[in-house]
Structure 1
Amino acid sequence: MSNCQLDHSHEDVLKKYQSQKEFLPNEMVPLFNQFFAKEHTQLVLNEMFHLLKKYDLSSKDEKEQRNQQILTLLNNM
């Protein structure tokens, strides 16, 4: 992922998730629901935003890699 100097809000991450939801594995939906029900550090929000950013345009291999990183974040919340 590219390093971005912008801090992304909870709302930014939620909007990005909603725009990418149809491209994500269905089993992630309940985990994202739990994720958005909690507060997170700025670091976590930024990381999740960038994992979701342009997810739909990623190659199959890139999606698999992102899925693992997303699941790691979701399962550690």
Structure 2
Amino acid sequence: MPSLASLAGQPRKTLSERQAACLHWSAAGKTSWETARILGVSESTVNFHLRNACNKLGVRGRRAAVVAALRLGLLDSVTV
């Protein structure tokens, strides 16, 4: 995994507001169904945003996306 110092020369990745919200609730331990109820969208919409976040961050899986987003400073730390 590249260090943050080696990522300094790369363009900064950004997440959409919905992608960040879905990752936030995933980091808090919420399922896609629970996140959908919280955000007022469908479960498939939550999964869509999580997949797009994974693609942007170059990872597979929501847990890896949460870790990558936290390391890159794209997601505030989550307290439950």
Q: TM-score, normalised by structure 2?
A: 0.27
Rg larger for: 2
Q: What TM-score comes out, normalization by structure 1 length?
A: 0.28
Structure having the higher helix fraction is 1
